[in-house]
Amino acid sequence: MRRHSVTPRKGWQKSVERVGLTYHTLDDGTPYWDESAYWEFSSAEIDRLEAATAEIQRLALAAGDAILTRNWLGRMQIPENAWAAIRATWHSEPPALYGRLDLAYDGRQIKLLEYNADTPTGLVEAAVAQWYWLEELFPRADQFNSLHEKLVAKWKDLLPYVSQPVYFSHDGADEDAMTIAYLQDTAQQAGLKTEALGMRKIGWDSDTGQFVDLKGKAIETLFKLYPWEWLLKEAFGAHALKTMNAASQKPVAGKVQWIEPVWKMLWSNKALLAILWELNPDHELLLPAYLDGPAKMRNYVRKPLLGREGAGVSIFRNWAWAEGAPAPDPTAQPVSASGGFVYQALASMAQADGRTAVFGSWLVDGEPAGMGLRESEGMITTNTSRFVPHLFR
């Protein structure tokens, strides 16, 4: 595993814009898509990362069963009004599409950092932009990347299980808009009829008790790039639970299929990290993690249960604050937006040229499907961390 410095393509901005990566530059003018470097792997290293992804997915499935069997939803601070729907959808297995594991890999050990299971982003750059970069500059090399093909194949599999049109919705910035546009395109390539609809443009027909589009047509299948914990706090959150198609894999008249399903709250919550460690102590792919404090760990990361893009994350070395969220007041109890934290051991990370890399390993239909790398100047990956392409030989 090596990081190489290279000269970016002439006119690289237009090259990535042509494939949908319009958010390639940060507000300060520095590149978010950074092709001044790339990471090279051996095929054996890629095999290890792929196998680790499959094994962590197996552990997550077992953890989901354990959480529901042992009634641990309260431990995860998941709202009680969502428990019944989570249980029902976990067992009925309605349509679900994708997720991303964030991994630490230093060339020796692979460790799970977190599971982005509900609203993962970084998809356009991982699935499309870096593939076209590879074909143009290194056509004889390969890449851990079958994302596009697997997404189209999964949508084809879902044809009998969704109502058409499938609505695609978000309420974010350019990255969310292009992620939704790309996913909508993969669904169309699979033969599905689709429509784009902003989250705030979804209507509620109180006469029929249904969610509707701008034309008053009932919505029966909706892919949302919008976290479940946000949705359930909205004014229509109770309606989402009441009208959810929770008991059937196939469409039910008057009910809504939500993709991703509400059971993804089990995996998008970072309490999963502590539960995985509790169920599988000393597993080679897991880091020690706890919900009630750092235990005896000297070096650890404190993460809000529902934080995103590094928000609210703090790093401690020798029990002292070192990086991240503002230094905590030692006389006060820590408070997070979600009401709790997970405390996870500090991982050994890949570092080169003053950058720290996190490996985003994607899954489609629960199967490993590709990888994207993000680099930061510190240890915490944020929304300004750069995406760097990769290859293997």
Q: What is the DSSP string of 244-256?
A: B--S-SS--TT-B
Q: What is the pLDDT of residue 324?
A: 78
Percent of the chain's residues with pLDDT above 90: 89
Q: What is the pLDDT of residue 118?
A: 96
Task: Report whether pLDDT(36) > 80.
Answer: yes
Residue 163: closest CA among 125, 217, 89: 217
Q: What is the pLDDT of residue 189?
A: 98
Instruction: With cut-offs at 50, 70 and 90, classify the pLDDT of residue 337.
Output: very low
Is residue 161 exposed (0-12), middle (13-18) or buried (19+ Cβ within 10 Å)? Answer: middle
Tell me the pairing of strands 341-345 and 350-352: unpaired
Average pLDDT over residues 55-68: 98
Q: Where are the beta strands (DSSP E) in 314-389?
A: 314-317, 320-324, 341-345, 350-352, 355-364, 367-376, 386-388
Task: Tell me the sheet residues that pair with 37.
Answer: 5
Number of other CB atoms surrounding residue 12 within 10 Å:
19
Longest dimension (CA), the chain: 61
Is residue 27 exposed (0-12), middle (13-18) or buried (19+ Cβ within 10 Å)? Answer: exposed
Return the domain boundaries, the chain: 2-268+352-392, 288-346
* Contacts of residue 200, Cβ cutoff 8 Å, sequence gap at least 6: 171
Q: Which of 26-35, 37-46, 149-158, 339-348 has the lowest mean pLDDT?
A: 339-348
Question: What pTM, to 2 d.p., does this model score?
Answer: 0.95
327 vs 292, residue with greater confidence: 292
Q: What is the mean pLDDT of the chain?
A: 94
Task: Tell me the sheet residues that pair with 359.
Answer: 103, 373
Residue type, 240: A
Express each pLDDT in 212-238 by its tens digit: 999 999 999 999 999 999 999 998 999
Q: What whole-number distance in Å separates Cα of residue 375 and Cα of residue 385?
A: 5
Q: Which of 196-205, 247-256, 379-388 has the lowest mean pLDDT?
A: 379-388
Average pLDDT over residues 308-325: 84
Q: What is the pLDDT of residue 334?
A: 52
Q: What is the pLDDT of residue 327?
A: 63
Task: Report whether pLDDT(86) > 50.
Answer: yes
Instruction: With cut-offs at 50, 70 and 90, classify the pLDDT of residue 328.
Output: low
Residue type, 243: T
319 vs 22, residue with greater confidence: 22
Q: What is the pLDDT of residue 152?
A: 98
Percent of the chain's residues with pLDDT above 70: 96
